Structure 1
Amino acid sequence: MTNATLQHVADEHLDLQKLARQKESYLVYPDTTYPELEPFDHADPGRLGDPKKASLYDNATKIFDLTPGIGTEIHGLQLSKLTDEQKNDLGLLVAERGVVFFRDQDLTPHQGRKLGEYFGPLLIHSVLGHPPGYPEILTLLSGAEEDKIIKNLSNFGRTSDAWHSDVTYEFQPPGFTFLKIDTLPKVGGDTLWASGYSAYDKLSPALQTFLEGLEAVHSGAQQINAAKIAGATVRRHDAEHIHPVVRTHPVTGFKSIYVNPVFTRRIVGLSKRESDTLLDFLYEHVSGGHDFQVRFRWEENSIAIWDNRVTFHCPIPDYIGGGKRHGWRITAQAERPVFDPNSKSRNEEFRKRAAEKNGSA
């Protein structure tokens, strides 16, 4: 059976964990191309969420924050069985907390695709390989062939250079990413997330004001070039767009830094030296912001759901050579990034709420 045929055979019972443990790689690279993505109006389910998230808190066995500013863990709920009300509340919680974690999840790739579709159109990656029948799924598979295109990408000089938000070069980049890790080495393989809200809040007011007037170019050209070198099909070629350096989240209304060293190339209107200096500062600001980061230690069948609009994440490749690590992810597109000059920082809003609460006490 050819790769092109495999693409169209979607098995509801596909067990990627089993495949990953039996094979060096199960990825396919069909010669399928797609039209460029069309603009669409994004209806974020988080807008329908209950501010108290009662459908989650009243039914989970335990919900707790991992740090004050980012990361919440939920026990006792299966993502495969969420009601629409719970999905709406989850959308709001992820938007507020940046990333939410679940353990011991039974979610299958078929169920994961349906769950992801609730939050937006699923993104098919322009170049990377995928499981048979599931072009919307991106596989993470180490200790094996992995992805022949990734092998042609330059290695990061240091782990901190890998901080990013997913495929920000799209015209309407992802809102939520769902990642399930089902196979782990004995030790290692954690992932870091950082809050874009806090990254903005930690800057001086003068620098905040300056950044709010800037835009940056995001590009996936490096991935496309790597695909060509590997002899793989480039499914879509529209891989460079301009987004604001500070964006406003459509549900929370909070401001967030929106540049990353993997996909951001330059700031519009600045000289190369000015752009490089400012971007390097912001990258160091995020990677060194340990007070607004969370580090998650995976267990097999854990799932992380994060909001790419207001977070950065960084895998920690300390397990290389120490065993296989496997997982799969779904990414749902959202709105085109915008900056609303009337929006507030998260700190501003929290101070306002505290003042109102004290005034009414």
Structure 2
Amino acid sequence: MAPVRYTRAPNVYSRVQYENEEDGLLTVAKELTAQSTYPEYLPTWNKKEKYEPLKFYEHHDVGLKADPSFPNLLPKGTATTKNITPKLGVEVKGIQISELNDSGKDELALLVAQKGLVVFRDQDIASKGPEFSVEFGRYFGPLHIHPTSGAPRTAAELHVVYRRPDAKNLFENRTNLIQWHSDVSYELQPPGTTFFTVVEGPESGGDTLFADAAEAYNRLSPAFQKRLEGLHALHSGVEQANFSKRGGGVVKREPVQNIHPLIRTHPVTGQKSIYVNSGFTRKIVELKEEESEYLLNFLYDHINNSHDLQARANWLPGTVAVWDNRRVNHSAVLDWDTSATRLAYRITPTAERPVYDLKDLNTPDVSKPYVGADYTPSD
């Protein structure tokens, strides 16, 4: 089996060491809350918050309805665009995504599907509060509630990433902290169009790397592409749940393991992409362990180390990055040594059940809760 790669640096995302507990609600320490510019986005963990496994639903991507000339998203004379790389990513200035009408949101989904990553500058969405981001995100699909991460007190649907200003010794046990993944790929219906913004961060550093798994597929020889057809990979949330438990955190929904095609097809663009990631993929189910590990490690190295199919987003104030989790893998960059806080949140609409052939799109299926000796269900 391929190595388990779900790890975190010590003292970065601790759940309880410096937090308060009020009637089952874990919160960031009062002195850290007082230092925050956006305290309404600080994470909380409710020990009483429990959810059932996610159920199948039919997903119809709103990008399929969009006008490909983008008249609402990229109005002439207002919006300006610049490619981040020739194939992956575009930067957009001059429009506010918070003000888009439904047609503009459809066009946003189409542009993200086509480009993989869209970085919007000078946005005001965070200033409108957590509840606005929740309602905005729901347009693109039912929002994923993360099974272990913290969320704002008023918005369980937002996933908060918070590096405290007192984090130390990040590289005590690791030479680097790059951790490529596609968000919660273990779910039956993982995310599609995904939004992320950093509301507090260092002056420089803390960028996010993106790798284009569609271009990675295109780089393979036709014979190798053919060999990958028909293979499926197991994606697991067990290690993430165990990590939360070990740190004194919560598990709001018991972990699942689901099997997805190794190569998936995008319902809007028809592009094929390699759908594995070193964060959550565990095994190619048709192969023996040694064969699976050999092939997965080749694919991880191909995606993670091919810098000529990657892009980098830097978090200028007011930046919102929107990416397609069906097409790209990503990793945070924890590269600053100052005491600066990094507070960010993700809006995570779910999408279709991954398929290789679009004729199978929206075929009903059932999520697979994990039962095994290496995990004890929460009380």
Distance in 1 between residues matched to 2:24 and 2:97, nearest whole Å:
31
**Is the 8 Å Cα contact of residues 43 and 162 (structure 2) preserved in structure 1?**
no
Residue matched to 1:62:
80
Q: Secondary structure at the match of 1:332?
A: coil
Deviation at 1:223, TM superposition (A): 1.2
Deviation at 1:228, TM superposition (A): 2.1
**Is the 8 Å Cα contact of residues 200 and 257 (structure 1) preserved in structure 2?**
yes
Q: Secondary structure at the match of 1:67?
A: coil
Distance in 2 between residues matched to 1:243 and 1:22, nearest whole Å:
38
Distance in 2 between residues matched to 1:133 and 1:6, nearest whole Å:
14
**Number of equivalenced pairs:** 327
Q: Secondary structure at the match of 2:192?
A: strand
Residue matched to 1:100:
118
More displaced 10-residue stretch of structure 1: 25-34 or 258-267:
25-34
Residue matched to 2:63:
46
Residue matched to 1:274:
291
Distance in 1 between residues matched to 2:26 and 2:99, nearest whole Å:
29
Deviation at 1:157, TM superposition (A): 5.8
Does residue 232 (structure 1) correspond to residue 249 (structure 2)? The answer is yes
Q: Secondary structure at the match of 1:180?
A: strand
CA gap of 1:134–1:320, structure 2 versus 1, over 3 A, is: farther
**Is the 8 Å Cα contact of residues 218 and 240 (structure 1) preserved in structure 2?**
yes
Q: Secondary structure at the match of 1:283?
A: helix
Residue matched to 1:168:
185
Residue matched to 1:29:
45
Distance in 1 between residues matched to 2:108 and 2:174, nearest whole Å:
33
Residue matched to 2:219:
202
Deviation at 1:212, TM superposition (A): 1.5
One-letter amino acid matched to 2:263: V
CA gap of 1:5–1:275, structure 2 versus 1, over 3 A, is: closer
Residue matched to 1:211:
228
Once the two structures are superposed, what CA deviation does each residue of 1:28-57 show, in whole Å capped at 9, x if it has no partner? 211210111110011211010112222222
Deviation at 1:243, TM superposition (A): 0.4
Once the two structures are superposed, what CA deviation does each residue of 1:55-84 show, in whole Å capped at 9, x if it has no partner? 222254301211111101111111110111
One-letter amino acid matched to 1:33: K
Superposition pairs for residues 110-149 of structure 1, below 5 Å?
110-144=131-165
Q: TM-score, normalised by structure 1?
A: 0.84
- Higher helix fraction (1 or 2): 1
Distance in 1 between residues matched to 2:305 and 2:324, nearest whole Å:
20
Q: Secondary structure at the match of 1:96?
A: helix
More displaced 10-residue stretch of structure 1: 317-326 or 96-105:
317-326
Deviation at 1:322, TM superposition (A): 4.9
Task: For structure 2, list consecutive stretches of 5 or more residues without a partner in the other structure.
Answer: 1-20, 28-32, 361-379
Q: TM-score, normalised by structure 2?
A: 0.80
Distance in 2 between residues matched to 1:41 and 1:70, nearest whole Å:
28
Distance in 2 between residues matched to 1:58 and 1:329, nearest whole Å:
26
Identical positions, percent:
42
Does residue 291 (structure 1) correspond to residue 291 (structure 2)? The answer is no
Deviation at 1:155, TM superposition (A): 7.3
Deviation at 1:187, TM superposition (A): 1.9
One-letter amino acid matched to 2:215: S
One-letter amino acid matched to 1:165: S
**Is the 8 Å Cα contact of residues 6 and 133 (structure 1) preserved in structure 2?**
no
**Is the 8 Å Cα contact of residues 71 and 294 (structure 1) preserved in structure 2?**
yes
CA gap of 1:110–1:42, structure 2 versus 1, over 3 A, is: same
Deviation at 1:341, TM superposition (A): 7.8
CA gap of 1:205–1:236, structure 2 versus 1, over 3 A, is: same
Deviation at 1:143, TM superposition (A): 3.1
More displaced 10-residue stretch of structure 1: 100-109 or 80-89:
100-109
Distance in 2 between residues matched to 1:36 and 1:251, nearest whole Å:
27
